[in-house]
Structure 1
Amino acid sequence: MTEYSVISDAEEFRAACAVLAAGTGPVAVDVERASGFRYSQRAYLVQVFRRDAGVFLFDPPAIGDFAPLQDAIGDVEWVLHAASQDLPSLRELHLEPPVIFDTELASRLLGHERVGLGAVVEDTLGITLKKEHSAADWSTRPLPDSWLEYAALDVLHLIDVRDVLVLELEEQGKTEFAAQEFAATLSRAPKPPREDPWRRLSGLHQVRGARNLAVARSLWQAREAYAQDQDVSPGRLVPDRSLVAAVMANPMSKQALAGIKEFQGRASRTQLDRWWQAIVDGRASEELPRERVPSDTLPPPRAWADRNPEADARLKAARPVVEAVAEELGMPTENLLTPEYLRRVAWDLPGETAEEIGAALAALGARPWQIAQTAQKIATAFVEAAQTPDTTPAPAS
């Protein structure tokens, strides 16, 4: 049985923070959310472990102000697994690490075949973790003992895992690679909100016509507002497919809407007035959405030969070269260089020298170590692609 303390009141919280402040070395931190159950991505449990202090499970809704924890551990390294997933929830609590070590990211750079937390713990320490509660509704109160045990184990071994991975990074000459990746994760700005988030409705491609799109937008907005008010995941109220089915059916009355068999969900019938009003509002909207939205997204590579044959040749020349460097370094290609970055420089051709290619990669977000490993190879491949004659047969006249 794992030893841990569940902290849910202010006095216990201050005492726990004092114990953590007196601990030694880095701290392991993890967050449990209620994704798929709640509207928000707030933390419903924050787990912290430090040597000579122990494991503490903090209840954010009960505690509220986390400033004492930031004061206690805000000057040491935080060890997380898949940090990019947890940092937004931690920052919502005003918990900000000064520096991180990401055990998942380190495992990727080291070429580990399995990078889930359970697999990394098993591969580095030989300890098997059960992962049966990872998708649980962590907003549940009281939390079952088996869930708390699971949450405690998520941080109990992280420091030991970190120590093993630090040695592996040193052995493979990747310590600086990892440091740059961790810093980039920590400093990465959140993605700006989408201009038309309702266009992410699954199945929206079936909807034709600006007026029908206005109805889909209105239904999405009504569901979003209700989900936020109830703090329930929108898809649990009414699934995307049900909203799209309602648009496609084009009901002429509230009763007809109720009769659509695909219009399902926990709130499809109890909130029927809400959904019908959304349809009415969408049909009456004077601001019709565009049917086609301009995008700076690159065309799929399979279309490049027709759309931009020179870029197609550059990509086909450079991609295997980058893959070979990744294989030589023993890491996935996407960790050596984000595939979209390579596609961008192949399409736009910012220049033919390594310096010009490197500057373009840096502007896209590539780290210095990635540029050092790839820019010259990409530049050489681009030059060779330009010098290779096009052997594609001309179309018959």
Structure 2
Amino acid sequence: MGFEFIANISQLELAAKLLEREPLLACDLEADSMHHYKEKVCLVQISSPGASYIIDPLACQDLSILAPIFANPRICKIFHGADYDVRSLHRDFGIEIHNLFDTMIACQFLGEAEFGLAAVLRKRFGVELDKRFQQADWSRRPISGEMLDYAVKDTTLLIPLYEQLKEELGSKGRFAWVQEECELLSRVRSAERRDEPLFLRFKGASKLSPPTLAVLESLLKFRETEAERRDVPPFKVLGNEVLRVLAERKPSTLGELDGITGLSPRLLQRYGVSLLTVIKEGVATPPGQYPEFPHSPRKKRTPANEARLKLLKAWRESKSDKTGLAPGLIANNALLETLADQNPGSENSWVLENLKQWQFSAFGAELATLLAS
């Protein structure tokens, strides 16, 4: 499969001049999140109808020449599962994407049961994607020819896939729906969480007591420091389940560490003494300084609101059956709860404030009538 590998600014400038003339560009990227503490974009793949490029941002560190192309509303940028790509391109290069089309979202709005890229390409083109390098360390150089071939395959079929999906969405009257969802997706950004407690991102932390949270936070800070020192993802230092068990049991001797699942003899030898010190520090946290997981107060609903919510969920299930769309795609629970908690009265303008434009166009009047009755 032919492509041009771009590893210097001169090559990038020539490619950019060609790419800016194209109406459709298929895009993807590869990163190193499985291998380094601070993840980064390691390859950017772009295919036009007639050519494919693999750009090495570790060699061409300034990708600003591509920013006008991604921002150009005349050029449709096609991704599959673009959330991570949108966040990463903006985080690493300040690139904003306008006129984004996500083929995964399109498949969802066509009611496809499987919408992963491998499944979609297998079904529509009979192509099997080789996923051997899905979790490879893309920051390593040189990159093998096999890895480059793998990288470019994800974009070469996105343009014909886009053409198929656009036609099918148009026949169902759902192309504008996908456009709106893609516009919202193009605005997502990576969150800055430098000053917030680490336990807020720890699954299951909301169920732990304040004294246990104090120990967990100490352990998480230790893991974060060690991961940064070794330049590896935190999960490669110690797994979440190990930290949870340590925080709950609060061992104080090496013997009490022995036998904890996931804490191998090698890890015990490397971190045993340090873990006991960290746990001791967490246990010593004064009660007045215990961290607490912020719980949103559960909203009490009136019987009328509960009845409206039940009605809305039944409506959603019925609409899902008729359209072939997943219930959560039609309206998520948060939206239904918001609608149920409002007093609709006789006007339907209140619905517009809560629905996306495509939802209002497709279901707004129906919902207003349903709730007002």
TM-score tier (shorter): 0.7 to 0.9
Whether contact under 8 Å (2:87, 2:189) holds in the other structure is no
Please give the alpha-carbon distance, in whole angstroms, between the structure 2 residues aligned to 1:206 and 1:323: 31
Cα offset for 1:66?
A: 0.6
Cα offset for 1:383?
A: 4.4
Report the residue type matching 1:310 in the other structure.
Answer: A
TM-aligned CA distance change 1:191 to 1:68, over 3 Å: closer
TM-aligned CA distance change 1:246 to 1:320, over 3 Å: same
Give 1:394's aligned residue. Answer: none
The count of residues paired between Structure 1 and Structure 2 equals 367
Cα offset for 1:233?
A: 1.5
Q: Which structure 2 residues correspond to residues 310-325 of structure 1 after superposition, within 5 A?
A: 310-325=304-319
After superposition, the C-alpha distances for 1:287-326 in whole angstroms (9 at most, x for unaligned) are 633556331566xxxxx8xx75433321221112123334
| Residue of 60, 70, 75 corresponding to 2:57 | 60
Overall identity of the aligned pairs, in % = 24
Please give the alpha-carbon distance, in whole angstroms, between the structure 1 residues aligned to 2:211 and 2:178: 50
Q: Which runs of 5+ in 2 are unaligned?
A: none
Q: 2:136 aligns to what SS in structure 1?
A: coil
Q: 1:29 aligns to what SS in structure 2?
A: strand
TM-aligned CA distance change 1:241 to 1:73, over 3 Å: closer
Q: Which structure 2 residues correspond to residues 130-149 of structure 1 after superposition, within 5 A?
A: 130-149=130-149
Q: Which structure 2 residues correspond to residues 253-332 of structure 1 after superposition, within 5 A?
A: 253=253, 255-256=254-255, 259=258, 261-262=260-261, 264=263, 269-272=269-272, 274-286=274-286, 288-291=289-292, 293-296=294-297, 308-332=302-326
Whether contact under 8 Å (2:70, 2:95) holds in the other structure is no
Please give the alpha-carbon distance, in whole angstroms, between the structure 1 residues aligned to 2:169 and 2:82: 18
Q: Which structure 2 residues correspond to residues 125-274 of structure 1 after superposition, within 5 A?
A: 125-188=125-188, 193=193, 195-202=196-203, 204=205, 207-208=208-209, 210-253=210-253, 255-256=254-255, 259=258, 261-262=260-261, 264=263, 269-272=269-272, 274=274
TM-aligned CA distance change 1:326 to 1:38, over 3 Å: same
Cα offset for 1:179?
A: 1.8
Give 1:44's aligned residue. Answer: 42
Give 2:76's aligned residue. Answer: 77
TM-aligned CA distance change 1:69 to 1:165, over 3 Å: same
Give 1:89's aligned residue. Answer: 88
Q: 2:28 aligns to what SS in structure 1?
A: strand
Give 2:6's aligned residue. Answer: 7
TM-aligned CA distance change 1:327 to 1:352, over 3 Å: farther
Report the residue type matching 1:115 in the other structure.
Answer: F
After superposition, the C-alpha distances for 1:270-301 in whole angstroms (9 at most, x for unaligned) are 24454344223323334633556331566xxx
Whether contact under 8 Å (1:44, 1:61) holds in the other structure is yes
After superposition, the C-alpha distances for 1:124-167 in whole angstroms (9 at most, x for unaligned) are 44433333433333334333332221210000111111111111
Cα offset for 1:46?
A: 1.2
Q: 1:51 aligns to what SS in structure 2?
A: coil
Please give the alpha-carbon distance, in whole angstroms, between the structure 2 residues aligned to 1:356 and 1:17: 46
| Residue of 345, 351, 355 corresponding to 2:348 | 355
Q: 2:224 aligns to what SS in structure 1?
A: helix
TM-aligned CA distance change 1:216 to 1:358, over 3 Å: same
TM-score w.r.t. structure 1 length?
A: 0.81
Whether contact under 8 Å (2:24, 2:48) holds in the other structure is yes
Report the residue type matching 1:249 in the other structure.
Answer: R
Q: 1:166 aligns to what SS in structure 2?
A: helix
Cα offset for 1:71?
A: 4.1
TM-aligned CA distance change 1:40 to 1:377, over 3 Å: farther
Report the residue type matching 1:56 in the other structure.
Answer: Y
CA RMSD, aligned part only? 3.0
Cα offset for 1:206?
A: 6.9
Cα offset for 1:84?
A: 1.5
